[in-house]
Structure 1
């Protein structure tokens, strides 16, 4: 019987940092199950429902006297966001373990590419789900029939279940990115960039949700996520060493990126400068959920335009830098390498002078100096 090999790796101690990182999905899923189980008991169902179910629901009648359940926004939505924040962490871990880690083992990526691949893989799934889900809501709610519906009937504080749940998931997903920086052991060089775009998403989506600008936000997010999906498909193709496919997809991304940036600015100007100005209010009405004042509209318009301008600036500078690098490399490839011509006669004369006088005479007599000149 062969002797047993000694175990070289020890399991991390309970509640240590490594233990939490390795088992965070199980820990978080257990916490989420506490809220789900709480719904089954009458004593705790009210508190558990505060986290699991959507808040601020009410029944209204439409023009045909048909009852509909609609939802509004409020501070209790933060409890719901927290619960689905936990769900996002669990789903993130499932995608990472059963999809991305298996692909990483097959491709043998470096540490830097490994981190970028994981980030793009997660964002690819989220962008695809958000784009399809948002487009489905947009068509089902008949927002696509007329652009006027982006501002008509404001404040849009009566949301359908799908619209409210969409924004709850958006807030929960981008909020869960903060602990993922620790749980995924993100490199220090990448932390600032991820914090930057995560915080930007949270600010924009939170403002649109709580200020009741959900329709224009939904339209802008769908357009943006379509472009993000194309970008991450191209990036994953690049990491998979499929350069030709990646190059073609990057070209498509470049076109869509510019079109969506211009389209977003157009929608922002139409909504905040033209449409909502027709029903502007002098002061904010928090009870009615009406934030349609001149100051808020201008700030929202400026924020959207500045973000689009910043994205376009990064896009243009990236392509200019890439063009300069390509032009510089092509010039170096065309120009021949200049070889230094060495005057052998001068070198030979210097070597001759360095010899003793007797050797100089013998070298001159033997014609060695002339032979060296002839070799040129």
Structure 2
């Protein structure tokens, strides 16, 4: 936690604050940019580190290892240290809410966000589902990394929104893949494993109640994330529609002003002499 707080302060002071001073963001964009900058650095580091562990432990090449040999009480040093670092980072995020002077209305959202990470990471660690947890974390972190990088690019240039479209597709695919791997590992793999029953000394939690609870927690979280995602997309579409309508109104207003300017000078209509009758020519005697 202390290391995470120090790294957080270093990234904020030497990178993010300098960019903020150059870009002159508003208060809302300033806080969102800081959030995306901090999380992008963390997600990039965690995703790369987690992927290296998956490759070195041959988990990706052998998916059956997700449930074979359960309970996985003996972990390699890198995997155990990875989980400790993950818990330390998300625990440090709680006092950071005070240090960063987060608004009171944003506190509930941040606390829910942090609590979900802590519950799932600690659950995978305690229940010895560390292999499945590592795969799901790397998958989730990769998608989140893409979102926050896209948001940083958007703040620098609001016309660059391609990253959000790619993120939207990968977000839905990641939710489907998370559910598939969870059901395959917990619902089928552990259900058919040889070691069944609850044994705290051996770290075996392979009973029906625990399996149902784990699957219910994962499914509920994925449904919550999809609900938030749908609301986010609807809000973006409404904002985009409002922007288009405002542009159309401004274009039509400009067109009307140009037509009015063609028949007038300085905004006042000209009647081409209709308001002042022409002087009649005097007849020559």
What interval of TM-score do these two structures reach, taking the shorter chain for normalisation?
Answer: 0.7 to 0.9
Q: Is 1:154 aligned to residue 53 of structure 2?
A: no
Counterpart secondary structure, 2:68? coil
Alignment check: 8 A CA contact 1:280 1:292 kept: no
The alignment's TM-score, normalised by the length of structure 2, stands at 0.83
Q: What is the CA distance between 1:202 and its match in structure 2?
A: 0.4
Match of 2:178 in 1: 264
The match for 2:158 among 213, 224, 243 is 243
CA-based RMSD:
2.0
TM-score w.r.t. length of structure 1:
0.64
Distance 2:73 2:241 in 1: 54
Q: Is 1:150–1:271's contact at 8 Å kept on the other side of the alignment? A: yes
**Which among 171, 195, 200 is matched to residue 286 of structure 1?**
200
Instruction: Please give the alpha-carbon distance, in whole angstroms, between the structure 1 residues aligned to 2:235 and 2:31.
Output: 24
* Residue 107 of structure 1, aligned match among 2, 9, 23: 23
1:296 to 210, 215, 219: 210
TM-fit CA distance, 1:327: 4.3
Structure of higher CA gyration radius: 1
Q: Check if 1:90 corresponds to 2:6.
A: yes
* Matching of residues 202-241 of structure 1 within 5 Å: 202-240=118-156
Matched, 1:131 2:36: no
Long gaps (5+) in structure 2: 254-274, 276-285
* Alpha-carbon separation, structure 2, partners of 1:127 and 1:219: 14
Mapping of 1:1-376 within 5 angstroms?
A: 85-240=1-156, 242-245=157-160, 247-279=161-193, 283-327=197-241, 330=244, 333=248
Q: Distance in 2 between matches of 1:100 and 1:172?
A: 22
Deviation at 1:322, TM superposition (A): 3.2
SS of residue matched to 1:291: strand
Shift of 1:306: 1.2
Query: Is the alpha carbon distance of 1:324 and 1:97 closer, same or farther for their aligned partners in structure 2, counting shifts above 3 Å?
Result: closer
1:119 positional shift = 1.0
**Whole-angstrom distance in 1 between the partners of 2:154 and 2:11:** 20
Q: Aligned partners of 1:324, 1:111: CA distance in 2, in Å?
A: 23
- What is the CA–CA distance in structure 2 between the aligned matches of 1:182 and 1:319, rounded to whole Å? 30
Q: How many residues align?
A: 252
Q: Give unpaired runs (5+ residues) of structure 1.
A: 1-84, 338-370, 372-376
For the structure 1 residues 321 and 96, does the alpha-carbon distance in structure 2 shift closer, same or farther, using more than 3 Å as the test?
closer
Per the alignment, do residues 119 and 280 of structure 1 end up closer, same or farther by CA in structure 2, a change over 3 Å counting? farther
